[in-house]
Amino acid sequence: MTHLLDQLCVVMIQTSHAGNIGSAARAMKTMGIHDLRLVNPKQADSAEARALASGADQILDQARFCSSLQAATADCHYVIGSSARSERSLSWPQMDARRCGEWVAQHLQQQKIAIVFGRERSGLSNEELQQCQALVHIPMAVTGYSLNIAAALQIIAYECFIASQSLAAPEPNHELDEEPATMEAMEHFFTHLETTLIEAQYLDPNNPRLLMPRLRRLFGRITPTRSEVNILRGILSAFQGKKFQRRSS
């Protein structure tokens, strides 16, 4: 029988300690989450990982290995980054762990969602943050301190589980007659958009500023569907090859 949380996946990026992966697998199993994706881990499997997994070996055995965050989330529709770090010049929508659990439970029926955990020491890079539509943080009584990655995963997974249990029968979203575009489709769109903006001389590749991150944030808020992305790309294709006048500064 399919469970609501089957639509939720956990992505861990360049995890240094295999023990953290084992502990994460245990945390996932206790909350009914089974889809683990590992991006370039330093060491994925070891006796320590198996011991700390404490019976969650199946999650480790079925973990998907990926070369990048983009590859790990290609089939997802919404990506939430768990890093507390964000770009100073551009803020991303943020929610605490409880609100994250509620949001995930409310949207899982229509979307496949990824929760991304960054490196133990440095979290997510700015480039990786730009591939997330929102960030989740865990409020703490002590400032300047952080949780172990597996502990953070346990808290967020617990909030997702509790929210999904209280949401006995999620109401289907009838606003859209099709599912949102996948992250893979959106990445192709962003590449197409950037290329067209450069060709139209609207975007200076030598001085891009924050144009593309802002556009990513805009489209992350509206979550376009597959057909809408196809329409947008058709419009971009119609403009490509045209001659444009250079904008006056």
Question: Where are the domains positioned within the chain?
Answer: 4-166, 183-239
- Range of lowest pLDDT (54-63, 77-86, 109-118, 230-239): 77-86
Query: Could you tell me the fold of the domain covering 4-166?
Result: Alpha/beta knot (3.40.1280)
**Domain 183-239, classified CATH 1.10.8.590, yes or no:** yes
CA distances from 69 to 50, 65, 215 (A): 24, 11, 19
Note the pLDDT tens digit of each residue in 69-86.
999 999 999 999 997 654
Choose the most confident range, by mean pLDDT, from 35-44, 46-55, 152-161: 152-161
Rg (CA), the chain: 19
In the chain, the percentage of residues whose pLDDT exceeds 70 is 89
In the numeric block, the tokens 């959106």 are attached to: 186
**Per-residue pLDDT, 234:** 93
Angle value at C-alpha 99, between 128 and 187, nearest 5 degrees = 25
Note the pLDDT tens digit of each residue in 163-186.
998 865 545 554 556 888 999 999
**Per-residue pLDDT, 182:** 93
| CA nearest neighbour of 205 among 218, 194, 193 | 194
